[in-house]
Structure 1
Amino acid sequence: MDIYTKNLNALKQKDPLLALSLAQVEPNKNFEVFMDVNDPANFNIISKKDLKPIFTHKPLEETLQKITDFIPYSYYPYFYFYGLGNGIFYKMLLGNETIKRIVIIEPEIEILFIVLNLVDFEQEILSDKVILLYTPYCNDVMVNSLFMMDKKSRLYAKVYDLHVFNFFYEKYQEDIIKINQYFIKAIEHNVISVGNDANDAIVGLKQHIFNLPDMLSSPTLTNLIDELRERDTAIIVSTGPSLSKQLSLLKQIAPYATLFCIDASFPILYKNEIKPDVVLSLERVEATAKFYTDTPKEAQKDVVFAITSIVHPKLKDAITEGVKQISMRPFGYTNMFGFHKYGYVGIGMSAANMAYEMVVHSRFKRCILIGQDLAFGADGSSHAKDAVYGSDEIKPKEQKLFVEKYGGGGEVETTLVWKLFLQFFETDIAHTPYKIEVINATEGGARIHGAKEMSFKDAIALVEKKHKIPLKLKYPDKKTISKNITLARKKCEDIITYGSKKKAQVEKIFLKVAKITEDLEALNEKNQLDKINFKKIEKITTEVDKIKDWFDDVKFTDYFSDAIQSYIFHQELDIARILVRYTQDDMQKKAKQIEWLYAHKYWLFSLAGGIDCVISIVKDTLEMQKQFTHFK
């Protein structure tokens, strides 16, 4: 099999769209290849349009010089390049075993075609070690998926750089800037989505465990999804400033479309005599209970309340009518219990994001968004009229943040959180696994890329005027409930036992590191740094590395990663800077070792504290939740 066929077959598995484009390339149309008969690696590519070559001198010599220039990057595991060149540089660069992935963006399909005919990247493409992106297909969603696909790449966010291959690609300056912005946006999104408040995850874990008996007594998510299948149109009702103007039309279409309403919109719909089919809540905070306590009980009748297992118990208890269907958000500490029929939705950060996931799982033909402003109204309002916490609940910040406005032609003011919700929507729409018509009928606020913009009046004209069937969910039997609650309790007990062992191991290593750093400081004070025992440092470094390997273990990450990742992640961002630093001699290498060790002193302290916190939370919650004792 020739090189091109091997490369193309690999791309068909990894990037079918690019493979299809390559199959349609007309050879030698815009570029010509000049080969060295004595060395197949020494070939140049010249543009027919302006007669400019990729290499001005000898290609192989320039490539070898570039390899030399990249010696300071020897410890970088992730690279991002604009320009494929003739491909030889990347083939040589891949000889460095430190490299986990090279992302190469190429603006010319014919250059991709030429290189893939001459350089074998089959195995690198199949293993995702080389990812080739063609710029016309490159967008923010695609770039964001790179960091979702390999989450370790996020740890190197602070050392990101988009390298331009050489001067030949400088004419694509506008494209380079655009692509670079995609990467910066994706890195920002991924870093923010990890969070910086460990308390959120701890509260979520506590409330998840406390709510487990009620979740296991409720209908399953799969039951709800099955009931929602084969339906025509879903309308997701959010609480943006524009919602008020849509309510009269929503009331007219309510008998025919399936209404997914976020919790904050529930009281507004009740006041306007509109009954939603599904009301969604996913947040941890107690304040969201007010959306139910401030609404008369009769409003809850015949409504399915799709809430997550991490909501505040007061919210859960405020729902006394209708059907409570409790699912799980896709976190390690929810997945580890194994109750997969109850999960998983809520990968996004808002109830509206969760509603869209549910719509997709149910395979609706059409999804209409209203009240999804994700921006301040023209009058500075943040929410619709009659919102429980007021239409001006969120105040504009002094430091303004803007996004493209609905309909285009300008920008609207948003917040960092709303922008994150927007990015989740765009990502989810782009990754929807089937053809769904997504219509943004908000008629205001931010533009949601991937959604068709249409007036709500025109959007509801597409809805099939056939009365919808009420949702009827089934509760599990008592025997199943008892069995599952017993399994949940045993899992909690295993977290305590397993976690206690791991915590003891971390504390042991921490004390060793603390002792070494104390010894280093003592030697420094005495001006005796020549007496540093580097064999001892290397030994403890290996022991710390073994602890870090736990993060590749599914059980450990399921039990503890979500609860500790926020502060561990932000420490890792700085540790990555140390890891990639190039050392030219033994002295620099030793200095780097010491700096790495000091960074892990606090890292180990944080890890032990995080594990201990999880153990304490699980113990306390088991004692608080009497239903666990009842089924013991």
Structure 2
Amino acid sequence: MISKLRKDEGIRELNFSAFEARYGVRPKIDPGEDNKYLMDTARNGEPVLQIRGVLNGADLRLNSSYDPSYEAGRLADKQEVPKRRTTIALMGFGNGIYLRKLIDKFRLDTMFFVYEPEESLFSFVCAFIDITDIIRHNRVEFFINNEQHKAMADRMIKDLGSFKPETICLFSPFYSNNAEFDHICHELEAAMASAGDFQRERSRTALKCRMYAWNHMRNNMLLTELKGRLPSDITAIIVSAGPSLNKNVEELKKVKGHGFIMCTDRALSVLDKHGIEPDVIVSMDAEKSPDYLRADVSKNAYLLCSYQTNSETQKIFDGRCIYFHTLRYERTLFGEKAGTSVADLGGNVAGGCFVICQLLGIKNIVLIGQDLAFTGGRHHADDKDEGNPDIKKRLVPGIDGNPVETNEMWIGFRDFFERQIGMNPQLNVIDATEGGAKIEGTGIMKFSEVADILKDKTFDPKAVFDGMNKAQTDEEYTRMREIIKSWIDDLDMISKNAGALSEICSQLLKAAKYHDINDLKYSKKKKMLSDLKIEIHRTVAYSMLEHCWVRDQYSIPDMVLFLRNNEEAIPVLDSAMKFYEALPEDCRSLKKCLEESIM
């Protein structure tokens, strides 16, 4: 017999207080919640959540009426647990029983990002069940309202960048497809593919370019030095190289001296043809040809560049480079003035411009040339063939509501802008491209209208850039060299430890195959394994190896190796043994590059 549970506003307050303490917001109660939801009791006394009237007038029961935990456990047991750190995007919280079973099923380093599409349902459940333990759980993050939904993809992409986990999208029982959740999963898939491609193909080159930048800071500047020099109400115009740029590029002449013109590297040749000198040029790519930056209008312009911008490009602008895209290495070398680390730059230069605007406190942003689509059959405003990847094409809504043809890569760029705009409501972003894909959250205007609005504003770029302090003194450079030398010494230690770790993994692997990994006689070996790993993980040099030098990011062992039983231990130890066997060669090649950088 199923009986109805009674609401307890005291329990709801406990849950709401815990939620507010962690997330800074209180869930909202739907006054009509009792007409939407019902909480019954299963035969074993556990709560059963129902949605009223959604099955042709009948109620939808989300849990077993006999034993909800048993049912949820059987469903959770069907999930295959990866042999490495895992991040799970879970569609639907329900009454939390399925999530609890997943937490029990997966490894102790698994993260759960829970998307609940109905804030009112979550609030309703809070009135019946004490879920404060899950709300406070350090491996569970909730996204229950519109603002949190907008931030979920960004939060998970940061997790991907930090830990490179296996990522899985799951649905709680009886939750159906949801367009926003599906889109988040698509964004995660694209981010994982992009990160893997970067690690395999470009990350070593990018780190070498960073090494070049580190050793040329005495003649160049940092982005933090620029902050505060721009007028507080300045409007930034991000000039991208989409085909529509040819429609309105002449209007930039009217904006010169009235707004902050940020030209992406690929768009520079178009501005050069029209004799328009940008206030800054922005470049980020380690492998993009410096020829894109050779133009008459660039001879006096400053370059806002990632530390990993092509070193040949850095040479062209020596003395006019302003560096951004700080990682752990720069924070160690240059301290607080290196600025904030930002994990996600959108995957393209225009995305980098957008992040720069946020770092500089610019709240008014105008996009031009940001088609993110094929316009008139063209992929860029210039006549070059590069930048048209041979990947799947799709139709998406255009700025005029009609479909436009684009591809998966450009959709990823669009998604970045939409995430940033959604998470930063204080920004006023205008899309004045006059073509291409629609970017949700932007206002749509013609660029001539923007120019008319800005005509009464005045902006003197020379006054902004004159007198900027250099990033580094001679004394600071000397100290930096000593830090890099210590990294070189650490690589010798890491190489030595790797040899020992490989041998220990081999010994424990044999134990797991032929004996019992939990036998107390292997405790000393496990302790040695842990101590050696901790020693290398503490170093900046190992961070370089993990994030930039090891080509297969998924070959890297987790910080904690889970060896709870023989079945679990065998694949973990086998993979770790192979990784540590190869690591000394990676240490030697990275050491050689660091040594050459400070010669």
Note whether the superposition's TM-score is higher than 0.5.
Answer: yes
Residues 564-603 of structure 1 mapped to structure 2, 5 A cutoff: 564=549, 566-567=551-552, 569-571=553-555, 590-603=566-579
Equivalent position SS for 1:427: helix
Deviation, structure 1 residue 438 = 0.4
1:85 matched residue in structure 2: 94
Q: Rate the CA distance shift 1:548–1:3 in 2: closer, same or farther, 3 A.
A: farther
Deviation, structure 1 residue 546 = 5.2
Deviations 1:527-561 (A, max 9, x none): xx868999688876665555555686464554433
1:269 matched residue in structure 2: 271
Deviation, structure 1 residue 439 = 0.8
2:420 matched residue in structure 1: 428
Equivalent residue in structure 1 for 2:546, among 554, 561, 565: 561
Q: Rate the CA distance shift 1:492–1:378 in 2: closer, same or farther, 3 A.
A: same
1:129 matched residue in structure 2: 139
Equivalent position SS for 2:598: helix
Q: Rate the CA distance shift 1:258–1:154 in 2: closer, same or farther, 3 A.
A: same
Equivalent residue in structure 1 for 2:68, among 59, 62, 66: 62
Aligned equivalents of 1:477, 1:103: Cα separation in 2: 43
Equivalent residue in structure 1 for 2:46, among 32, 41, 48: 41
Q: Rate the CA distance shift 1:482–1:426 in 2: closer, same or farther, 3 A.
A: same
Equivalent position SS for 1:195: helix
Aligned equivalents of 2:428, 2:137: Cα separation in 1: 34
2:365 matched residue in structure 1: 367
Corresponding position: 1:300 with 2:299: yes
Aligned equivalents of 2:373, 2:135: Cα separation in 1: 41
Q: Is the 8 A contact 1:84 1:105 kept in 2?
A: yes
Q: Rate the CA distance shift 1:66–1:436 in 2: closer, same or farther, 3 A.
A: closer
Q: Aligned AA for 1:304? A: Y
Corresponding position: 1:289 with 2:290: yes
The total of aligned residue pairs comes to 579
Deviation, structure 1 residue 307 = 2.2
Q: Aligned AA for 1:610? A: D
Corresponding position: 1:327 with 2:323: yes
Larger helix proportion, structure 1 or 2?
1
Unaligned runs of 5+ in 1: 521-528, 584-588, 624-632
Aligned equivalents of 1:396, 1:477: Cα separation in 2: 39
Unaligned runs of 5+ in 2: 1-8
Deviations 1:335-365 (A, max 9, x none): 3313442445774132222221222222334
Q: Aligned AA for 2:351? A: N
Which range moved further: 331-340 or 362-371? 331-340
Q: Is the 8 A contact 1:403 1:446 kept in 2?
A: yes
Equivalent position SS for 2:405: strand
Corresponding position: 1:441 with 2:457: no
Deviation, structure 1 residue 566 = 4.7
Q: Aligned AA for 1:28? A: D
2:166 matched residue in structure 1: 156
2:13 matched residue in structure 1: 5
Aligned equivalents of 1:210, 1:56: Cα separation in 2: 59
TM-score, normalized by length of structure 1?
Answer: 0.80
Aligned equivalents of 1:373, 1:551: Cα separation in 2: 45
Aligned equivalents of 2:27, 2:515: Cα separation in 1: 63
Equivalent residue in structure 2 for 1:454, among 445, 457, 471: 445
Aligned equivalents of 2:193, 2:449: Cα separation in 1: 39
Deviation, structure 1 residue 116 = 0.9
Aligned equivalents of 1:110, 1:125: Cα separation in 2: 16
Deviation, structure 1 residue 399 = 4.3
TM-score, normalized by length of structure 2?
Answer: 0.84
Q: Rate the CA distance shift 1:342–1:396 in 2: closer, same or farther, 3 A.
A: closer
Aligned equivalents of 1:429, 1:554: Cα separation in 2: 36
Q: Is the 8 A contact 1:217 1:481 kept in 2?
A: no
Aligned equivalents of 1:419, 1:367: Cα separation in 2: 20
2:207 matched residue in structure 1: 205
Deviations 1:162-193 (A, max 9, x none): 13324xx4xxx342x65234213323314423
Residues 395-406 of structure 1 mapped to structure 2, 5 A cutoff: 395=388, 397=390, 399-406=392-399
Deviations 1:14-34 (A, max 9, x none): 4456x2533x54442322333
1:224 matched residue in structure 2: 226
Q: Is the 8 A contact 2:48 2:62 kept in 1?
A: no
2:6 matched residue in structure 1: none
Deviation, structure 1 residue 618 = 0.3
2:5 matched residue in structure 1: none
Q: Is the 8 A contact 1:209 1:618 kept in 2?
A: yes
Corresponding position: 1:114 with 2:110: no
Q: Is the 8 A contact 1:507 1:604 kept in 2?
A: yes
Deviations 1:74-112 (A, max 9, x none): 957654443433334545665667364434333444431
Deviations 1:298-340 (A, max 9, x none): 7523x322223323332223237xx613314233333331344
2:381 matched residue in structure 1: 384
Aligned equivalents of 2:457, 2:249: Cα separation in 1: 20
Corresponding position: 1:503 with 2:505: no
Q: Rate the CA distance shift 1:72–1:532 in 2: closer, same or farther, 3 A.
A: same
Deviation, structure 1 residue 277 = 1.0
